[in-house]
Amino acid sequence: MVDNELFKEFEAVILEWGEPIELDNKILPIFNVEIFPDWLKHYIEAVAEETQTPLDAAAMNSIAILSTTIDSKFEIQANGSKWIESLNTYTVIALESSERKTAVYKAFLNPITEYQDKEKERLASIIIEEEVERNTISKKIEYLKQLYSKEEDQEKSTVIMNDIKQLAKEVKEETNPLTKEPKLYSNDITPESIAEVMSVNNERLSILSDEGAEVYQMMAGRYSNKVNLEIYLKAFSGGNVRVDRASGKSISLNNPKLTIGIYIQPSVFQELPISFSERGLTQRFLYSIPKSLVGSRKPNPDKIPKEIENLFKTNINRLLNLKVESLISLKFDDEAQIYLFKMLKEIEIMLGNKDNNSAYRNWLGKLCGQIIRVAGLLHIAENIKMNDIPRKINLETLLKADSMRDYFIQHAECAFGIIRENENLDDVKYILNKITTFDRFKGQKKIVYQDLWQLVKRRFSKSRELKRVLHFLEEMNYIKLEKDGRKLIILVNPRIIK
Q: What are the per-10-residue average pLDDT scores of the chain (498 residues)?
A: 48 59 71 97 98 96 96 88 91 92 96 92 83 87 88 86 86 70 87 89 93 88 75 92 72 92 88 86 95 90 96 96 90 96 92 78 94 98 91 97 95 75 69 89 91 90 88 86 92 83
Strands 285-288 and 328-332: unpaired
- Is there a contact between 211 and 268 (Cβ–Cβ < 8 Å)? no
User: Which DSSP symbol is given to 73?
Assistant: G
The CA radius of gyration of the chain, in Å to the nearest whole number, is 29
Q: Of 123, 478, 69, 48, whose CA–CA distance to 313 is shortest?
A: 69
Beta strand 204-209 with 185-186 is parallel
Residues 159/143, Cβ–Cβ less than 8 Å: no
CA distance 350 to 353: 6
Q: Which DSSP symbol is given to 162?
A: H
Instruction: Give the helix, strand, coil percentages of the chain, each rounded to 5.
Output: 55, 15, 35
- What's the confidence (pLDDT) of residue 421? 47
Q: What is the pLDDT of residue 1?
A: 43
Q: Confirm if 91 and 108 have CB atoms less than 8 A apart.
A: no
Asked if 256 and 308 touch (Cβ cutoff 8 Å), the reply is: no
Query: What per-residue string of b and e applies to 327-342 under the rule 16 or more CB within 10 Å gives b?
Result: eeebebeeebbeebee
Nearest-angstrom CA–CA distance, 113 and 105: 12
Contacts of 201 (CB under 8 A, 6+ apart): 180, 182, 183
DSSP state of 93: E
Chain-centre distance for alpha carbon 291: 18
Question: Helix crossing, 154-171 with 101-150: angle to 10°?
Answer: 180
Cα–Cα distance measured from residue 332 to residue 338, given in angstroms and rounded to the nearest whole number: 9
